[in-house]
Amino acid sequence: MLDLKDYGITMWEEEKIASFREKLLVWYDAHKRDLPWRRTQDPYKIWISEIMLQQTRVDTVIPYYERFLDWFPTVADLAQAPEEKLLKAWEGLGYYSRVRNMQKAAQQIMENHGGVFPSSYEEISKLKGIGPYTAGAIASIAFGLPEPAVDGNVMRVLARLFEVDYDIGVPTNRKIFQAMMEILIDPARPGDFNQALMDLGSDIESPVNPRPEESPVKEFSAAYQHGTMDRYPIKAPKKKPVPVYLTAFIIKDSQGRYLLEKNEREGLLSGFWHFPLIEVESLSGNLGQLSLLDGKGEAERNPEILSFEQDYDLAIDWQDRSYPIVQHVFSHRKWQVQIRYGLVKEGEQPATESTVWLTPEEFWDYPFAKPQQKIWMTFTENEN
């Protein structure tokens, strides 16, 4: 077991720990949020909520959670769900590897556990996409096991309680906070204890504008008592996401349908449908600015337009329209997207394995990731 004294951390005596647990849980009982996943001990439902809550705000998650359980009420339903319906259920939540891993984990449960969610921390941890935090949350909340669930909120609270001089953003430092929680966690109410610390960290002890004077455990907080709240937790600033410039082609045919393409590549937004996208070196302005320079046709002037017409074998009447740049930030990339709008000049346009022609009313049947939703919204708002 990790010796916390080696890290300059002296834990409290048992009597103080018992007092801390009591005050925290009394506060939680009085102030806990009424959330749908807190009305159940079903490990499947708790698992769904915990995965959705990663990188996503609670108020955003609630309608997704309820719809997801309506569409996939059991592990078996999730295990055999078609990919497009699965992505549609997750559409807009981002970090789509989460839902793909959930399906793989559901398939593991069906194959290795007869469709019954495993009840030990060790077996839960073996499921695809479940790390120490999620395993601890499910084990403690669904099965009452004294397993810590250490997320960013919990580390923030602990860093202030004990003035921990280790960066909470460094993954290898997580073991320090894990060891602290193994000592602090309430063995009688481990799930409530974990959730109480999460609630405290997400509200009163939030990263921005904390209100430590309102904390139910302020008398235990070394940072509060010593006036060092502004120092803790220690966390190095994130690296800025790398800018990526793209052109989105919104192409309409004579029947009012739009060209969509399926992303068949592995990785970011795999499996989603989108307007054709081409990465460019920079954003080049509107068509009018580009086409007046020497009288040549736009396809001859602009490499991205020429590339599109060749790749998709379409004759396009490009519209001289200007649209706001669409921005979308991923964890490591910042997309900046310019929109090109064109009308198909002639003929029936057949669909292919990776492309379809859809009316806007049919968009609902296909999974659109958030950037594509933003592109469509920007287009429609500026066409009226």
**Dist. CA 215–CA 251, nearest whole Å:** 55
Would the pTM of this model clear 0.95, i.e. be above it?
no
Structural domains in the chain?
4-226 (1.10.340.30), 242-381 (3.90.79.10)
Sequence-distant (≥ 6) Cβ neighbours of residue 20 within 8 angstroms: 12, 184, 217, 220
Sequence-distant (≥ 6) Cβ neighbours of residue 71 within 8 angstroms: 77, 81, 85, 89
pLDDT tens for 171-222 read: 999 999 999 999 999 999 999 999 999 999 999 999 888 899 999 999 999 9
State the catalytic residue, choosing from 13, 15, 22, 50.
Answer: 50
Confidence of residue 280 (pLDDT cuts 50, 70, 90): confident
Which pair of tokens denotes residue 17? 């720990």
Q: What's the mean pLDDT in 67-79?
A: 97
Q: What's the mean pLDDT in 47-54?
A: 94
Confidence of residue 289 (pLDDT cuts 50, 70, 90): very low
**Dist. CA 121–CA 136, nearest whole Å:** 7
Whole-number CA gyration radius for the chain: 26
Is 50 one of the annotated active-site residues of the chain? Answer: yes
Q: Burial level of 10, CB count in 10 A (0-12/13-18/19+)? A: exposed
3-state secondary structure of 184: helix
